[in-house]
Chains A and B, each alone.
Chain A
Amino acid sequence: MRSLLHFLTRIYFLLLFLLLEIFCLILIVNFNNYQKIVFTNSTNHFIGNIYKKSSTFYSVFNLKKINSDLAEENTRLRNKLEKTKVPNDTDSISADSAKYFFIASKVISNSVNQRNNHITLDKGIKDGIKEGMGIISPNGVVGIITNVSDHFSMGPTVINMKWKVSARIKKNNYFGSLSWDGKDYRYALLNEIPIHVKLNIGDTIVTSSYSSVFPEGYLIGKIESFNHKEGHNFYNIKIRLSTNFMTLRHVNIIKNFYYKELENLHRNRE
């Protein structure tokens, strides 16, 4: 007890200092608007990330249950599918532009310097976000949502080596798949364009109508350069992406009202 008191008197000066500083910090954060905003934002981000981490951690334990639930749901849906005839009326899908609903969202975390880059958004299940929804920015395609938590969602962006998006050349409708080579976040590659197609530098690349995620004809980028190797049937096309992933702040999440229908349709075809 005595040594504790001795210790306390020795660090009394430091304690007094820390006490005063903490008091100052409380004052700063409570009475200055700017600092308050910075403080609450960073704490929210921090807490949000903790929640996200813990939810991914805990979801591992639920995997068994989720798996069985999904299996049940699958069989139930399959049964339903068997019973109902899926209408093969594609016109109603492509013609109607009101089939998309956009949800504005803020980017809370985004990477450009990894091999597989992901984006995290501040909208989650509570805002109606589901897995499989597309993400676009005003300038072009951004990515797709693969993970959703209550308040956050995340997914790969175009600059992710594991993710591809169906794209076409706007002027002649030849389509291929857009992928990323893991090098420069400003450029991506367009594959599977046969060499008899006439290309020009600067041709616009847009999303194809084969994607059920993005609206058809949404901007992706422009052709920066192209070449083809001897003996290959396809071009190597380098695309300059119209989205600047470095400065991305606000994006829209696309809800396709017919997404499920289309997916069902595709599953049905398989």
Chain B
Amino acid sequence: MKIFLKYLFIWITVVLCQVLLCNHIQLYGYITPYIYIFFILLLPFKTSKHLVLLLGFLLGLSIDIFSNTPGIHASATTFIAFLRPSVIKILFNRETTDKSDLPPVSSMGISWFTKYTVIMVLIHHLFLFYIEAFNFTNFFFTLSRCLFSAVFSIILIIISQLLFFNEQQK
């Protein structure tokens, strides 16, 4: 119950941060960070993958409802939720196993978490921006938008993760 409330709190914080703050940031007119996938990155390793998938979908949907883009974010978050187990499997070194119900950053350390974040954010942003563009006519323009936004998102996610991590240490 406690863990449920904790993640509910994180959920609400993340969604509010995204829709109230990040959606309004438009650096140079087209760089927008999407930090809400922070929530999916944060889920403990032992979470069932089906649950992650559903949570991803619901997270995307809630962002969509706020930003008036039904389906766009939901499809992207569902996609990374689907890929999350495979990405974790690829990134895992030999003996580290998923015993803990701690969020990845606490059990794995920051450098591992950075790798993990970079991969997940890139996948998410690529999917999101091409779904948003919905065709490949301006392929490189979309790609550049996507990459710049991804860099920005990654930085923001890692900073917020560090803050969160430090709090946990205390």
Contact = CB atoms under 8 A, between A and B. Distances in A.
Interface residues of B, number: 19
B135 interface: yes
Contact of A35 (B57, B74, B82, B134): B134
A258 interface: no
A32 B132 CA distance: 10
Contact of B49 (A13, A24, A28, A34): A13
Interface stretch (B1-9, B64-72, B153-161): B64-72
Contacts of B131: 28
B71 A38 contact: no
Contact of B82 (A17, A26, A31, A34): A17
B60 to A, nearest CB: 8
A110 to B, nearest CB: 15
Contacts of B135: 38, 42
A23 to B, nearest CB: 8
Interface size class of A (residues with CB under 8 A): 20 to 34
A17 B70 contact: no
Nearest to B135: A38
A34 to B, nearest CB: 7
A25 B71 contact: yes
A44 to B, nearest CB: 14
Contacts of A35: 72, 134
Contacts, number: 54
Given A13-B49, A27-B70, A32-B69, A39 B75 contact: no
B78 A39 contact: no
B53 A24 contact: no
Contacts of A28: 70-72, 75, 131
B50 A32 contact: no
Interface of A: 12-13, 16-17, 20-21, 23-32, 34-35, 38-39, 42
Given A13-B82, A31-B71, A32-B70, 10 more contacts: A13-B50, A17-B78, A20-B54, A20-B74, A25-B71, A27-B70, A27-B74, A28-B71, A31-B70, A35-B72
Interface of B: 49-50, 53-54, 57, 60, 64, 69-72, 74-75, 78-79, 82, 131, 134-135
15 contacts: A12-B50, A13-B53, A16-B50, A17-B78, A20-B57, A21-B75, A21-B78, A24-B71, A24-B74, A25-B71, A26-B71, A28-B131, A31-B71, A38-B134, A38-B135
